[in-house]
Amino acid sequence: MQVAPHNHALNAVQLGLGVLALLAVAFAPPVQGQMLLVPLNGEPVSIATVNGLRATPLLAGPLPGSLVVEGDRGPLSALWLQGVLVLAAPEAICGGSGAKG
């Protein structure tokens, strides 16, 4: 049985979309809890800004300028306007020194 070449491209697109969906679910920030703040320009996230958004800095993140914080997603989502991604902070990636059991 031969498969038409366009079917391979369609399968690759479907696989890519599936992987993106899994990553989006895995790194979607929680409503409340630990989050990873990742500045797109690599400049450190301001502690004063984090404190002003009712979040508590816990430790430096794994990426340049990133920070793991404890807080609420609502206020932290304002950081998007400053070019900072707000992601879930998986313990396996962000470390456990600030994590709660």
Order of strands, sheet of 67-72, starting from the edge strand that comes earlier in the sequence = 56-60, 67-72, 32-39, 84-88
Can you tell me the mean pLDDT for 80-101? 73
Per DSSP, helices labelled H in 1-101 are: 5-27, 47-52, 73-76, 91-94
Whether the full predicted model's pTM is greater than 0.85, yes or no, is no
Model confidence band, residue 96 (pLDDT cutoffs 50, 70, 90)? low
Q: Which of 10-19, 32-41, 81-90 has the lowest mean pLDDT?
A: 10-19
Domains with residue ranges and CATH for the chain: 28-94 (3.30.70)
